Each structure stands twice: as structure tokens, then as C-alpha cells.
Structure 1
């Protein structure tokens, strides 16, 4: 049971939330990517006033660690680290793609036991950041940079349905013809981060405040050349 402050600035929409025992009790969101830096601190102050807590009351600060926007990641992680230093509280970092997969599981969509979830974040050209998770949120393919082509993920789709979502899936859709592919409109936020952060808090899975860095991926490769 923990009172956590959750920050997600990794992608186009920024959001912050306060969760108690994994349940959201306050939430703010901004859809303008260029405003992430100015949005975060003002939104946090507003939420704290709403729920009657102070930053000192927060037991840990959680943030999406990437992949995502270079500037956005630094905004969120700098804010979270600053709070951790100021109030001597632990830092929780959760991979953005895992947060997206959690959002998919809680979206109300129906998945079968063998389905694989494939969150994708648009990078540039035909490049995305992607990962694969089963419906138990177990990682099947670790988060990595991928260059999409017509054969991406084809081997897996021979026997299993893959559910693609996120900004990167928009450019992948026209390339896919497999009947075992599904594309969904699913968004994530600090609410989804809060659920995973609560689990990390209970396991004391904390990150080093001094040395933790955003998860940047630089070397892209084609999935047609891998086991996928």
C-alpha cells in the first residue's frame, strides 16, 4: 500500500497522476508535446491541492523510462529525480512499452490466451520502438528498435495472433496482410504507470537515483532478420 506520484512524458501526450494502493486518485493530461516541461510541475501542484497531500507525503516517485521522445524522457526523469533527491524518496522507473501493454490489458479489449501484445512507438521513417508481451504481461521480445518491412513479425503470426497498437502501428498497418494481425486504438497514461509502479514498490524494485538514465535505443534492425 503506497501513495505514489507517477509521471509519463515519454510520448506525444504527457500525463501525471497520484495513485493510492495502485488506484488513481488524481490525474492530469496534456496532449501538446511541446508543452511537457511547463505542464508537469503545474499539474502536480494542482493535483496535490486537489487531494490534500504534499510532496513530502509521497512515498515514491515513478516515471516512464523510455523508449520515447528524447526531450520528453528527460523532462519526466529530471522531475522525478529532483523530487527523489529533495525528499529522500525512492525512484521507480518502468519501461514505456510495458506501460502501453498494461494499458492494452485494461482497455476492455478481449484477448485470447495465446495472443501477443505488440506496443509500438513511432521513431522516424519506417523505424519504431517495439516489444512483445503475452496477456500475463510477461515479456516475450524485449523492448528494442526495429526497422519495419513487409516480413516483420511474420514468423510469429503463423501460429499466434499479434495485436499492434501505439503510434508506430499506424504506419505498419498497410504493410501487414496476415489474418493473425489485429490493430487496436489504445492509449496509455500515468494511470497505467501507477498500477505497475505499485507492484514495483511492493517488491522494492527501485532505481538508482544518481545513475539511472532514460532508455535510449540507437541501433535499429529489421525484424525480418531475427527470430520474429
Structure 2
């Protein structure tokens, strides 16, 4: 089995899949700051309630980003700790690719998919995928305006989704721009779907050196008042 974690955004989710892709269980919390306090509980619960033990798991998968700096650090550190304890491999999955897995089945073959994660102001983390789930434009931090993605929109319909899509909706008025009415959030369920494929091809991460895919450099501030 593969145990998958996603703490890329405010959603904290854990899923358990068999190696043939069968979903055995998925727990999701949609409240703020749950990853640090609830993640390990969700891990234990999803495995136990599916009738198994952590020792039965063959690999750990984690949404590697982009996303929240804090959330990604929590998810990746937890996944690495589980891999070390269980002596099992680590699989890293792009958060945007996993989001795309949620919507691909509902659109025709010529559609492109642009998952978006809010990066504050008018900036989003995004990428473009085709109907086969292949990346056709790499993950980037993009500041949105009226001309964004004009070349792609001129050729084919593009589905924009995720918590950054509301920003795109306000500036992208092209007829080929599609905005689903249902919110699409990152989920360990589709992280696990892609992790099953990665496991089959032996696409594992180097446990010691693996880090979250922050996309942008982590920025810190200096306290204005010194504490003695």
C-alpha cells in the first residue's frame, strides 16, 4: 500500500491506496492550521480504520509543492520521518499535477488544465497540463493580468481551478477561459493516484536530500524590537 499526505495549503489530508490504485481511505480537514496538530492522528486513523498497520505500507507519498511554506515543511518532514521509521521509499508529487487529476475526466480531449494556488496579491503558482496529465507548461509563480496565457487561450479551451482561480476570473475574459463552479482543493487522494504510477516505475526521491518544492525563496523578516 501507499500512504499519501497533502499539506500544501490549508487542507490537511491523508489517503491510503493499494498498489493497484484502489483507494482504501481518505481523511481531509479544511480548517486553518490543522497540519501541525492533526496530521499524525489522521495518518494513524486512516491506516487503522482501513484494517491495516503502518508496517503494511510499502511507500510514503507527499505533495511536494508548490504551496504554503509552513504546510509543505510539515508534510515533507512527516513523510521523511515515516520513511525512516518504516524503511520504505519516498515519493514526491507536484501539488498542481495532483489537483489536475481531480478534473481531467470531466472535459474533452482538446482541453488544457491550469491549477492555481494563491500566492498573495495577483500572483499564483500555476502550471498547464493536457488531457493525458502531461505538463505542457512548467510550474511557475505568475502575476496575473489581462494578457496572461493569451497564446494558449487563443488555441484551445483552458480550465482554471484552485484557490487562485478567482484572481484569474477577474482578469481573464477570453471565451476559452473556463472556471468550474465547484472548488478544487489539493488532496492526498489524487497524490496517491499519481504515487501509484510513480511506484510502478521506481520513481523515488533521495530521502536525505529531498526538500519541498517552494518555487520561490523563503522570505523572513527581522523583528523590529529586540528581546533581551
Q: TM-score, normalised by structure 1?
A: 0.91
Structure 1: how far apart are the matches of 2:40 and 2:48?
13
Could you say which residue in structure 2 is the equivalent of 1:166? Answer: 162
Structure 2: how far apart are the matches of 1:208 and 1:200?
14
| 1:112 equivalent in alignment to 2:108 | yes
**Displacement of 1:52 after TM fit?**
2.2
Please give the residue correspondences for 1:129-168 in structure 2 after superposition, counting only pairs within 5 Å: 129-168=125-164
Could you say which residue in structure 1 is the equivalent of 2:85? Answer: 86
1:19 to 7, 17, 33: 17
| 1:181 equivalent in alignment to 2:177 | yes
RMSD between superposed Cα atoms in Å: 1.1
Residue deviations 1:141-176 (CA, integer Å, cap 9, x gap): 011111111100112111211110001111110111
Structure 2: how far apart are the matches of 1:216 and 1:33?
20
Residue deviations 1:179-217 (CA, integer Å, cap 9, x gap): 011011333411111110000000000001100100012
Could you say which residue in structure 2 is the equivalent of 1:35? Answer: 34
Is residue 163–residue 185 contact of structure 2 (8 Å, CA) maintained in 1?
A: no
**Displacement of 1:112 after TM fit?**
2.2
Counterpart of 2:119 in 1: which secondary structure? Answer: strand
Question: Mind listing any 5+ residue stretches in structure 2 that lack a counterpart?
Answer: 218-228
Is residue 23–residue 194 contact of structure 1 (8 Å, CA) maintained in 2?
A: no
Q: How many residues align?
A: 214
Residue deviations 1:12-39 (CA, integer Å, cap 9, x gap): 2110011112121111111113111111
Structure 2: how far apart are the matches of 1:127 and 1:195?
28
Counterpart of 1:124 in 2: which secondary structure? Answer: coil
| 1:207 equivalent in alignment to 2:208 | no
Structure 1: how far apart are the matches of 2:110 and 2:50?
41
Residue deviations 1:24-68 (CA, integer Å, cap 9, x gap): 111111111311111111111112221221111100000000000
Structure 1: how far apart are the matches of 2:104 and 2:109?
12
| 1:102 equivalent in alignment to 2:101 | yes
Structure 1: how far apart are the matches of 2:37 and 2:211?
21
- State the 4+ residue runs in structure 1 displaced beyond 2 angstroms: 185-188
Structure 2: how far apart are the matches of 1:8 and 1:213?
14
Could you say which residue in structure 2 is the equivalent of 1:216? Answer: 214
